[in-house]
Structure 1
Amino acid sequence: MRTGLCHTRVKYLLLAFNFLLWLHGMAIVGFGIWILVSIFDPDVRYTEIKDDEVLKIVGGTLIAGGFAIVIVGIIGCHGTIKENPCRLLGYSISLFIIFAGLLGTGAVIINYKDQIELEVRETLKTNSSISTVLQKKCSNGTKDYVETCIDTLMRYPTIVAGLSIGFAQVMILGLVFSLSFHCTK
């Protein structure tokens, strides 16, 4: 067991980071569960399109990703408390994989933003059930509710890309803590 002020500080910083990672993972799981439950709740107004499979896919993906983040956080906490180099190395590799996925997601969204907008326009103009919902939500007294909704919806890919890249930067902080804890003597 290593001792020293630097080692102790890095250990507690890594434990705090893992706890926050675990909380974020649980929040993502909760959000995924909320999406899946809200599909079947007639009182929830956000999901008036009941036959849309996309919400089921998004909810399931959020739940799976959240559980993966929780498991990575638990492995990191256990490796930190026991000071197990194998678990810390596995934790660092897992953080790097999450980092690469988040960074890649943000880059793809930014790179293909125009194509995403074309797909959104096509879907909104051709799908009558979505069109009916959007007419209720986005009309604002104008006839061209599709353009109003597209302007609103196209803010979200930029926000998602920014959050993805920002969270990837936080993963770098966890990698630094993990690797410096692994290397301190």
Structure 2
Amino acid sequence: MAGVSGCIKYSMFIFNFLFWLCGILILGAAIWVRVNKDGQEILNSGDSVTSSYVSVNILIAVGSVIMILGFLGCCGAMRESRCMLLLFFIGLLLILLLQVAAGVLGATFKSESERLLNETLYENIKLLSGADKEAEAFQKALIKFQKEFKCCGLVNGAADWGNNFQENYKSCECSSSSDACVMYEGKQVYEQSCISFIREVVAKHFLIVIGVAFGLVVIEILGLVFSMVLYCQIGSK
């Protein structure tokens, strides 16, 4: 009868131990944001508190699933439990299938998501020229973003600020010697809009995102292969 390969067994354990640690970190950070006073302030500072809580709850669920899978993989490898290894295999396979489905849906509904993004942006432009509490909160957030990333306005540049430009132009100011500057209402401001900056950053890092996604798929496939090989070896003992 064939024995269980020590190399595969301990590789499986190390892989899942790291997987389990990642789950703990994600879960711990999400729970801290959810219950801690400072974390509550972070959530409540957003434009949509409900969507912020939904995001945190999703992270809690993701961290919990990763922890459970890591635990099953570790214990299944060390105790040579076929049941645990099979549960690990099924869970990881479901995650892989969900990733593939998300990728397909993302490609299918790309044009629709771009349309929704544009509609959201044009709705937010109205907030820049508004004067209510919701508008003021959004303006403060954009002012910080403009200072940090040297852009102005959302879509149409400084014109997006409307009548509020003179009160908030300082975050848009730039050096008169810079080619990135334009004159608007007597002030030198950044020509590039913030959404244009974001799109440039996304385009530059798109290959990195694809590489990370591909790397995750490869790691998951290796986990599936190791778990099934170990499962078969235990069964043939």
TM bucket, shorter chain: 0.7 to 0.9
Structure 1 Cα separation of the partners of residues 14 and 72 of structure 2: 13
TM-score, structure 2 as length reference: 0.63
Please report how far the alpha carbon of residue 72 of structure 1 lies from its aligned counterpart in structure 2 after TM superposition.
Answer: 1.1
From 101, 108, 114, the counterpart of 1:104: 101
Q: Which has the higher contact order (CA 8 A, sep 6+)?
A: 1
- For 1:171, the equivalent position in structure 2 comes to 220
Kept in 1: contact 2:151–2:197 (CA 8 A): no
Please report how far the alpha carbon of residue 34 of structure 1 lies from its aligned counterpart in structure 2 after TM superposition.
Answer: 5.2
Q: Which amino acid aligns with 2:40?
A: F
After TM superposition, list the pairs within 5 Å mapping 1:14-33 onto structure 2: 14-33=12-31
From 72, 76, 101, the counterpart of 2:73: 76
Q: Percent identity?
A: 30
- For 1:182, the equivalent position in structure 2 comes to 231
After TM superposition, list the pairs within 5 Å mapping 1:1-185 onto structure 2: 3=3, 7-33=5-31, 35-36=33-34, 37=36, 40-41=40-41, 48-49=45-46, 51-127=48-124, 128=127, 129=135, 131-132=138-139, 133-138=141-146, 140=150, 142-143=152-153, 144-145=156-157, 148-154=193-199, 155=202, 158=206, 163-184=212-233, 185=236
Which structure dedicates a bigger proportion of its chain to helix? Answer: 1
Moved more, 103-112 or 170-179: 103-112
Q: CA RMSD in A?
A: 3.2
Please report how far the alpha carbon of residue 170 of structure 1 lies from its aligned counterpart in structure 2 after TM superposition.
Answer: 1.4
Kept in 1: contact 2:47–2:138 (CA 8 A): no
Counterpart of 1:118 in 2: which secondary structure?
helix
Q: For residues 16 and 75 of structure 1, do their structure 2 counterparts lie closer, same or farther at Cα, with a shift above 3 Å needed?
A: same
Q: For residues 24 and 113 of structure 1, do their structure 2 counterparts lie closer, same or farther at Cα, with a shift above 3 Å needed?
A: farther
Moved more, 154-163 or 85-94: 154-163
Structure 2 Cα separation of the partners of residues 99 and 167 of structure 1: 9
Structure 1: give runs of 5+ residues left out of the alignment: none
Kept in 2: contact 1:80–1:88 (CA 8 A): yes
Please report how far the alpha carbon of residue 142 of structure 1 lies from its aligned counterpart in structure 2 after TM superposition.
Answer: 3.4
Q: For residues 2 and 19 of structure 1, do their structure 2 counterparts lie closer, same or farther at Cα, with a shift above 3 Å needed?
A: farther
Kept in 1: contact 2:26–2:59 (CA 8 A): yes
Please report how far the alpha carbon of residue 102 of structure 1 lies from its aligned counterpart in structure 2 after TM superposition.
Answer: 2.0
